Every structure is written in C-alpha cells, then in structure tokens.
C-alpha cells in the first residue's frame, strides 16, 4: 500500500469488533500507538527497506498491534474485618511470582480504606473458597472483582457506602469494638454460561470475556522494535523495544510494568530463539531440556521500555481491571518480523527467524 504502518492503523481505527459488530467496552489502541511511536522516535524512520544502516549492520524498525481478551472467571472471595483493625482475604488462588499477593492485599486495603499493612492474604489452600486462576490474563481482574463485591458487603453491614470518605469509614470501623464482620463476594462474569459460581466449586471455571459477552472486551497495545542484522553473517540483534499498553485500571504500576517487560522478552524469544525440534523417525523431541532448548540470555536482550497508557473501563468487570499477563508478548514476534523486513526487504513468515532462513531468503 505504500503507507506508514502507524498512519494505516490510524486511518482504519474502529470502535467495534469488525467480525461480530459488537462495540468495545474500551479501546485505547491509537493512544498506545501515539505514545509508543513518539517514545521510539518512529518519525525518523526511512520507509524504504534496506535503507538504514550502521556500518556492517542493517537496521530495521517495525511495529505491530497487540490485543488480548479481557476475560474473567467465576470466583469467590472471603473477606473479614476484625475489631482490632486488621482484615484478612481468603480464596484458593495462587501466586506464580506475578505479584498476586501484593495486588490483592492492596485492593482490599483500597476498598476498605485501611493501611496496606493491616491486610493479610491467604491463598494456595483448597479448603478456602474457589479463587482466581493464574492463567489466561484472568487472575487479577477476577480476584479483584470478587474482592470488590465482598468489601462492598462489609461496608454495607457497617452502614456506609463504597463511596464514603475516610472519616466516615474510620467512624464506622471504630464503632465495631469487638468481634468481626465477614462477607463473601460471589463473582460470576456477566454473560457467563451458568450465571453463578457453582462451577467454581466443582473445578469448572467459566471463562467469559473477549468476544463472548454483549460487548467486546480486550486489552490493547502497540510494540515498536529495532533489529540489527549483520550484512555478512545475518546475525540478528534486538537492541531496543518499546511497548505501550492499555489494560484498564492498573493495580500496581511496578508489578504490571515488570510483568509486561517479561512478556515482551518472551516475545523476542519466540521470534528469534525458541523452537521445538522433533526427530520424525523416532517420534521424539530432540531438545527436551533447557540445556538444548534455546532461550535468550541477558546478552540477547537490549533496552526494554514499557509505557502504561491510562484507561478507565467501568464495563469490563466490577474492578475495572484487564489482565497484563499475555498482552506484552502477542505482538512482539510480528513487530520483530516487520523490522527484519524493513532491514532486509525479505519477509520471513516462519518462526523463529534464524540465520539460515535469512541466508536462504
């Protein structure tokens, strides 16, 4: 088409899913492209493939769209507030190292108006109410939606609304001079098949979101990548990558940024390194261990820049949260491939993009 990739997306932007016709609850894709392209310096790009060079290195710039369903599952959260000023959250979720304990603790503190240090989180015990899954970018959005329902019940029990100020909350909590107040938040996503949390107790999570509800719910992002390819050896390097992402209310900027950074590195790994090799004669995996399965090391990863684009979405779920687990990686390989094309003028459509493919192309 001869168009700049960012201008092409700007021209074809839409407010609804072009397949189903359903409107989006929120779609901040253009904001992601504007912020990421400015940070990356996209305006300095020569659009002619193979035109940018630094000594023996061919330089390519590429970009791509990232989108991922903003789904949640049925979940139950139990919250108790004690007269001594402490609160406890319980559900049978898990933290894989993504910061779930932190964001759930912060969410209870925010909803009840308590110091973060006065909230304790208990997870990882199947005797507790069925909690959120740590997968599919659903964990934080699901858990915080159930937490919101439970905390609203506690506030109602104490005679205050969720919008009450700090003084009103402190006064209400102060009147509880002994005992405790406990509530259970039974969260079932709008448009779910069962309409209840019964499946959660049976180990049958009901994923709802994306294109399944009355409106389309997605997180969006834009990724910009610079690659450098050696003119003689065809060695590929990624010195920098910039990603901007809009995922509803960001619970904790530090943990979200860290998770997105790791996801972008995962995407670079998928684009340039990872491949499962199979011995077809023996029907066995050849590289079935981390000693032979190629993944990037520190020397393979350059500057990783993450931008969190503010977004308010009050329709996706009670917490207004969309997941960030996968949105950081789904556009990376495409951005790398586009950058490789810009550097060489050759399209590589088979991942990973390795030296032999660049030589044969």
For 293-325, how does the pLDDT look when each residue is reduced to its tens digit (9 = 90+)? 999 999 999 999 999 999 999 899 999 999 999
d(CA 12, CA 218): 18
Terminal alpha carbon distance of the chain? 22
Lowest mean pLDDT among 9-23, 131-145, 170-184, 298-312: 170-184
> Minimum mean pLDDT among 74-78, 101-105, 162-166, 177-181: which range?
162-166
Q: Could you confirm whether 326 is annotated as catalytic?
A: yes
Contact 199, 91 (CB under 8 A): no
Q: Which of 34-43, 84-93, 203-212, 310-319 has the highest mean pLDDT?
A: 34-43
For residue 24, the 8-state DSSP code is B
Give pLDDT, residue 175. Answer: 78
Q: d(Cα 116, Cα 270) in Å, to the nearest integer?
A: 38
How large is the average pLDDT for residues 231-248? 97
**Can you tell me which residue has the tokens 């409107």?**
23
Kindly name the residue from 223, 226, 311, 326 that is annotated as catalytic: 326
Q: How confident is the model at residue 200 (pLDDT cuts 50, 70, 90)?
A: confident
Q: Compute CA 210 distance to the chain's CA centroid, rounded to the nearest angstrom.
A: 13
Q: For residue 194, what pLDDT is reported?
A: 65
Domain extents in the chain: 5-70+213-360, 75-201
User: Worst-scoring range by mean pLDDT, 179-193, 220-234, 245-259, 270-284?
Assistant: 179-193
Give dist(CA 100, CA 114) in Å, integer. Answer: 18
pLDDT reported for residue 238:
98
* pLDDT digit string, tens, across residues 257-284: 999 999 999 999 999 999 999 999 999 9
Q: Which three-class secondary structure state does DSSP give residue 332? A: helix
Least confident of 1-15, 184-198, 240-254, 291-305: 184-198
In this structure, CATH architecture of domain 5-70+213-360: 2-Layer Sandwich (3.30)
User: Which pLDDT score is estimated for 224?
Assistant: 99
H or E stretch at 253:
helix 253-272
Region class of 55: left (phi > 0), else alpha (psi between -120 and 50), else beta: left
Query: Is 75-201 the same fold as 5-70+213-360?
Result: yes
> How much of the chain exceeds pLDDT 70, in percent?
99
pLDDT recorded at residue 195: 62
CATH 3.50.50.60 correct for 75-201: no
């Amino acid at each position: 088409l001869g168009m700049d990739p960012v201008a092409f997306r700007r021209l074809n932007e839409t407010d609804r899913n072009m397949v189903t016709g359903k409107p989006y609850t929120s779609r901040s894709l253009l904001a992601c492209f504007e912020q990421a392209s400015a940070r990356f310096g996209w305006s300095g790009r020569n659009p002619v493939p193979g035109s940018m060079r630094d000594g023996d290195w061919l330089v390519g710039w590429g970009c791509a769209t990232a989108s991922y369903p903003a789904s949640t599952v049925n979940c139950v959260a139990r919250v108790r507030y004690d007269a001594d000023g402490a609160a406890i959250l319980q559900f049978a979720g898990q933290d894989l190292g993504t910061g779930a304990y932190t964001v759930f603790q912060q969410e209870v503190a925010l909803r009840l108006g308590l110091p973060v240090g006065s909230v304790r989180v208990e997870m990882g015990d199947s005797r507790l109410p069925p909690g959120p899954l740590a997968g599919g970018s659903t964990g934080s959005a699901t858990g915080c939606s159930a937490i919101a329902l439970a905390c609203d019940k506690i506030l109602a029990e104490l005679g205050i609304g969720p919008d009450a100020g700090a003084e009103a909350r402190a006064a209400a909590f102060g009147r509880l001079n002994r005992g405790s107040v406990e509530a259970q938040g039974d969260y079932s996503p709008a448009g779910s098949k069962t309409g209840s949390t019964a499946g959660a107790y049976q180990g049958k999570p009901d994923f709802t979101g994306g294109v399944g509800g009355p409106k389309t719910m997605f997180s969006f992002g834009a990724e910009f990548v610079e690659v450098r390819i050696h003119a003689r050896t065809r060695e590929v390097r990624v010195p920098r990558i910039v990603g901007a992402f809009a995922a509803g209310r960001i619970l904790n900027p530090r943990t979200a940024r860290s998770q997105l950074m790791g996801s972008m590195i995962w995407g670079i790994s998928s684009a340039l390194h990872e491949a499962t090799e199979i011995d077809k004669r023996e029907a066995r995996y050849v590289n079935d261990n981390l000693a032979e399965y190629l993944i990037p090391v520190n020397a393979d990863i350059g500057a990783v820049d993450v931008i969190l684009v503010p977004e308010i979405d009050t329709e996706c779920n009670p917490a207004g949260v969309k997941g960030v687990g996968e949105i950081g990686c789904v556009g990376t390989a495409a951005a790398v491939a586009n950058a490789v094309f810009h550097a060489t003028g050759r399209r590589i459509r088979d991942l990973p993009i390795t030296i032999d493919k660049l030589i044969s192309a």
